[in-house]
Amino acid sequence: MNTHASRRLWAELTTEDVAGLAKDRTVVVQPIGAVEQHGPHLPLITDALTAETIARTAVERLGPESGTWVLPTLHYGKSTEHLGRAGTIAMSTTTLQSVCLDLGESLAAGGVRKLVFVNGHGGQPSLLDVVARDIRHHFGLEVFNIMPSRFALPDGVEDPDPFGIHGGFLETCLVMAIAPGLVRLDKAVADGLAVGELYRAQRHLTLEGVVPTAWLIDDVSASGIVGDPTGADAETGKRLLDHFSGLLAEALTEVRDFAFPPLREGTA
């Protein structure tokens, strides 16, 4: 086996390494994010950076016996809601679906049976749910979509803004822990706070929830931020990284051991 295999990176294996894997125990993880504006204080690569770091940390925790490998990160995503803001580069729905389908077809052709998307961008969970079922249907893979930020927060950590969904406290803390040199906290501002007032008067409508609103960033924020990042700190970010990667590691173990039971004849 390739001496770089301890890093658990699929792209560093040779074709012979991959051919020798026990495919029935192999889980392939695809980090996916976005290149989009995150206000004046965070880098464009925030979503891809957090998805990749959490995925790699989780897989490294599991170790070489887990059969889990990390693919090169898909940096671009469906960022339609941020188009027009400087720096945003967005894939269309059709393009991203096609990329994911091609990924599934390629992995299936090589014998892989389990694929996990680790998603860092809030604008594409629904798309990934749809394409996961298409990959399952067309190529037979078992596909799982995981967005680590949807895990419960660690004890003692709370977002000061309940609508802090973009460039807010939690995201800023994470990037401060991962790549502090990319954060300009002196430029951070609280914005999008009127969103809470907008929806407080509604019985059913929400920004994201049971009756979601198809929003664009220009509908809810002047700066590009929805939340309050001003009190963010690296120590909280380290706690979040450890917590999310630990829960992801647990989920990946469940994925590895999961299998649909064979249907009994006549029950379909």
**Dist CA 108 CA 138 (whole Å):** 10
Q: Is the per-residue pLDDT at 267 higher than 80?
A: no
Q: Three-state DSSP class for 212?
A: strand
Q: Which residues of 247-260 are buried (b: 16+ CB within 10 A; e: fewer)?
A: bbbebbeebbeeee
pLDDT recorded at residue 68? 97
pLDDT at 5: 52
Q: Which of 57, 66, 26 is CA-nearest to residue 248? A: 57
- Beta strand ranges found along the chain (DSSP E): 27-32, 68-70, 114-119, 142-146, 205-206, 211-212
CA distances from 84 to 73, 87, 90, 134, 217 (A): 24, 8, 10, 31, 10
What is the per-residue pLDDT for 75? Answer: 98
Identify the DSSP state of 153: P
Least confident interval from 99-113, 199-213, 228-242: 199-213
Q: Give the pLDDT score at 207.
A: 86
Q: Which domains does the chain have, with CATH numbers?
A: 7-256 (3.40.50.10310)
DSSP 88-130: -BB--HHHHHHHHHHHHHHHHHTT--EEEEEE--TT-HHHHHH
User: Where are the strands (E) in 34-103, listed by range?
Assistant: 68-70
pTM for this model (two decimals): 0.94
What are the tokens at 152? 């419960």
Cβ atoms of residues 48 and 79 within 8 Å? no
Indicate the SS3 state at residue 164: coil
Q: What is the pLDDT of residues 2-28, one digit of tens each?
A: 444 568 999 999 999 999 999 988 999
Which of 151, 192, 194, 139 has the alpha carbon at shortest distance from 28?
139
Q: Say yes or no to pLDDT of 1 above 70.
A: no
Kindly state the average pLDDT of the residues 21-45.
97
The residues that bridge with 239 in the sheet, in sequence order, are none
Residues 132-166 have pLDDT tens digits of 999 999 999 999 999 999 999 999 999 998 889 99
pLDDT of residue 153: 97
